[in-house]
Structure 1
Amino acid sequence: MNKILVIALGIILFSLNLNAQENFDKWPALKNFSMVISQTFYPAEEGNLAPVKERSGEPLREAALLHKSDIPAEFSRPGIIPAVRKLYLESAGLDKLIKSKSEDKLILAQLKQVPDCFHTIVGICSDKKD
């Protein structure tokens, strides 16, 4: 059951990443974060935590850059600022767990929070303005 959820989330994130690559050219910090998290999250889905453990500082760095970046006007919608902040905080939590050599199950649980936050941001950005 858990594996099905992870696979479904992966498929959703993959399709969102394809759209994000195209749609977020105007927000390079978001596009860069998307690329880094896809390179670390997808291997973890298959049980390979090595990439995220070796590169835990990268999602945090990209989330910090995203947090500090100017939000393009077309993506500046209600909820975007708290969502970006949460992404930064979840990425920091992941980095902290990895650096403290926490158990893999704790790392994986935290890792799942990061793309969830990214998905929230993509959803906010993709909503049509009324």
Structure 2
Amino acid sequence: MKIIKSLFAFAAFFALNSVSAQTIIDRWPQIKAYHELMSKTYHPAEEGNLEPIRNNSELLLKRAEALSVETMPKEFRNPKTIETLLTLKKQTQVVNDLVRKKAADDEITKALALLHDTFHKIVGMCQPEKK
């Protein structure tokens, strides 16, 4: 019985965190659009399929360019989040540049993984404080 209760608590914890992150993405339409394309390109790249990022790096860059402090919900605006957003935009440019110059797969994969981590930093920064 203790195991079942522990598993339930564990599942509830992750469900609440997922709902939190989803809410943040839903409240910032531009980051939601970026996330949708990031998911469609990053996860195949994890499996060694770089075709999605090769086909969509320019669109990902356009979606990064649409991210701005002005479109960011006010409660997320702080120097650290803004700085990380600027990093995300620069890293998206790097990925696009690597794709355009037909860089080696491992270079693109590393840059895309770094970009993916930066995206998750922004989402984490926009989560409500845990008490």
TM-score normalized by structure 1? 0.79
**CA gap 1:20/1:33 in 2 versus in 1, 3 angstroms:** farther
SS at match of 1:128: coil
Judge conservation of contact 1:87–1:117 (CA < 8 Å) in 2: yes
Segments of structure 1 that go 5 or more residues without pairing to the other structure are 1-15
Q: 1:39-88: CA deviations, max 9, x gaps?
A: 00000011100000111112111111013642211212340111110000
Segments of structure 2 that go 5 or more residues without pairing to the other structure are 1-16
Judge conservation of contact 2:81–2:125 (CA < 8 Å) in 1: yes
TM-score normalized by structure 2? 0.79
SS at match of 2:89: helix
C-alpha separation in 1, matches of 2:112 and 2:76: 25
Matched residue count: 116
1:34 aligns with 2:35: yes
Where in structure 2 are the equivalents of 1:68-107 lying within 5 Å? Answer: 69-107=70-108
* Counterpart in the other structure of 1:49: 50
**CA gap 1:35/1:76 in 2 versus in 1, 3 angstroms:** same
SS at match of 2:129: coil
RMSD: 2.3
Moved over 3 A (4+): 16-22
**CA gap 1:68/1:53 in 2 versus in 1, 3 angstroms:** farther
Q: Which residue identity is paired with 1:71? A: M
Judge conservation of contact 2:24–2:123 (CA < 8 Å) in 1: no
User: Which deviates the most, 60-69 or 43-52?
Assistant: 60-69
Identity %, equivalent residues: 34
Q: Which residue identity is paired with 1:29? A: Q
